[in-house]
Amino acid sequence: MSFDSLETGSVIRYPYLWVRQAVTGELEGRKSRPVAVGVRVPRADGDLLILLPITTKEPMSGRLATEIPDIEKRRAGLDLDLRLWIILDEYNEDIIGRSFYLEPVPPIGRFSKAFFLPLMRELIARRKDMKGVSRL
């Protein structure tokens, strides 16, 4: 397998490290969870991925997040019986080929462009307010 199928809107499993955990000194994600590939940036030393967490916990007021509709959960290979949100105000960044966490397995699914691209526009517009964890 290769990483060629990882593109904007792909959903993979990844040991996401929340910003609040990194701030307290944690170095590893507590569990593998679904994440969306927000952006893939080509680089000579390996493509940079911006990964957005998907969670079952309803986000607190003030968080930038979007609930995932059933049709998109189906496309993304996610559990239809759960309420799920994409968190858009924090991210992990990692590099293909240098990561300890990315596996060359196919995505579990992908979001439609009609659903995901407006979210990415919102993310880009608010990028200064985002917090991230570099897994490099």
Q: Is 22 helix (H, G, I), strand (E, B) or coil?
A: helix
The whole-angstrom distance between residue 19's C-alpha and the CA centroid of its chain comes to 13
For the chain, the domains span: 10-131
Q: What distance in Å separates the CA atoms of residue 67 and residue 103, rounded to the nearest whole number? A: 27
The predicted pLDDT at position 1 comes to: 54
With 70 as the cut, is the pLDDT of residue 34 above it? yes
Q: Which amino acid is at 93?
A: E
For the ranges 2-6, 17-21, 98-102, the lowest mean pLDDT is seen at 2-6
81-132 residue pLDDT tens: 999 999 999 999 999 989 999 988 899 999 999 999 999 998 888 888 899 9
pTM for the predicted model, two decimal places:
0.94
Give phi and psi for 109, each to the nearest 5: 170, -170
pLDDT of residue 108: 96
